Amino acid sequence: MGRIELRTFDGDLDALAAMAYETLFSEYGDTSWRDLNQPEVARLVLADVPDPRFLIGAYDGSQLVGFVANLPRRYRFNGQSYLGVYSTMLAARKGYQGVAALLMAECLRRHQEFEADLALFTLQKGTRAAHMFAKMLGHRYRIEHVRTMYALARVIDLPAMATSQHLPWYEQAGAKLVGADRPIAAPLLDDGLAKARCLVRPYRADDLDAILELTQRYSDRRQLVRVFSRAALSHRLHTEGITQTLVYERGGVVQGFINYAVYELLSASARQRWAWLDLLYWAGLAPREKQALLAALWQQSRERGCIGILDWSKGSYAVGPLLRARFVPYPLGIEMMAWVLNPALSFRGVRGVWEEIA
């Protein structure tokens, strides 16, 4: 290992993918991880970065050996507005393990220049990275646990899921027993709903302002709520081949929506597509209306070649409709952490997060 230089990323997404794949396959082995490094996916993740200084590379000479992306955000929390960043895509080439902490320290230095109040990041539950960061940087910056998120999964293709995730026979039998391997049935609307001209349909560009208004209805009391710009929300709601949204329309007015992204989960032995549920608003919808949205989600995800749907327990919307639609607990967990740069801010007692998992 030569002299490591931290500098603004040069934009070579192919070099980033090669470095990240070598790192992640080595680290995770036959455990699945979400691929954000395909150039088309990386372009979506980085689409709203306004300044190249938010993207930091670690270089050994001309070779990229580490990377982290910092995505600027605005949040609401307990009646206040905060400037934040979301750090993601952190990777360091094998043999350069100390580079991750160097990258995080450089992130925090730049966040202070940016006058950020907080910096979020997520880690797979059980990893030691949060402890390492706290040990190396905690004397200078405050780190807090925000929320542990567990996965709920809905089966689309059970044989493919069993193969890629190495599910034992009894888990497969349990999924069949509760009907988690069967399609979500689209409900018949009763006369009252039918007269209101209810419809589940794909998102259209002219829905943007209506959905932006729905995103502003989430309470920020003890909840961290992302404030979207029109441009950022537009990318999230529809980017061809990656993100998709289904809306629920009643009487010609958008009343709710489900947004998801199609990602590949990779391991040493498998590559499978999953629908990753990100943003959802269905407050005020009747149970059958929620089921209609979920049935359309299942069908559209199947048409896009997904073997299952994943939802994370963010605490910002009711999951009862998911459980009734036979979403089942899945052995994956994510820890959302925050570097708290504003001394007046604390996430103690937070009960929910309304944000995509980048």
Residue 41 has pLDDT above 80, yes or no: yes
Give all domains of the chain, ordered by start, each with its CATH number: 4-148 (3.40.630.30), 151-333 (3.40.630.30)
CA dist 256 and 284 (Å) reads 8
pLDDT band per the 50, 70, 90 thresholds, residue 339? very high
Average pLDDT, the chain: 89
3-state secondary structure of 162: helix
CA 3 to chain centre: 34
Residue 137 has pLDDT above 80, yes or no: no
Q: Report percent pLDDT > 90 for the chain.
A: 62
What number of other Cβ atoms are within 10 A of residue 178's Cβ? 11
Each residue's pLDDT tens digit, 272-328: 999 999 999 999 899 999 999 999 999 999 999 999 999 999 999 889 999 999 999
Rounded mean pLDDT of 87-98?
Answer: 87
Best CA proximity match to 119, nearest among 192, 188, 70: 70
CA dist 155 and 184 (Å) reads 10
Residue 228 has pLDDT above 70, yes or no: yes
User: Could you tell me the CA-to-CA distances from 299 to 180, 309, 356 in Å, in that order?
Assistant: 14, 11, 22
Residue 15 has pLDDT above 80, yes or no: yes
Helices (H), the chain: 13-28, 39-45, 99-114, 129-137, 158-165, 169-177, 191-195, 208-215, 230-237, 287-303, 320-324
Q: What is the pLDDT of residue 216?
A: 95
Rounded mean pLDDT of 341-356?
Answer: 93
CA dist 39 and 21 (Å) reads 12
Rounded mean pLDDT of 38-61?
Answer: 91
Residue 217 has pLDDT above 60, yes or no: yes
Which phi and psi (to 5°) does residue 237 adopt? -75, -35
- Cβ pair 354, 314 in contact under 8 A: yes
CA dist 53 and 116 (Å) reads 14
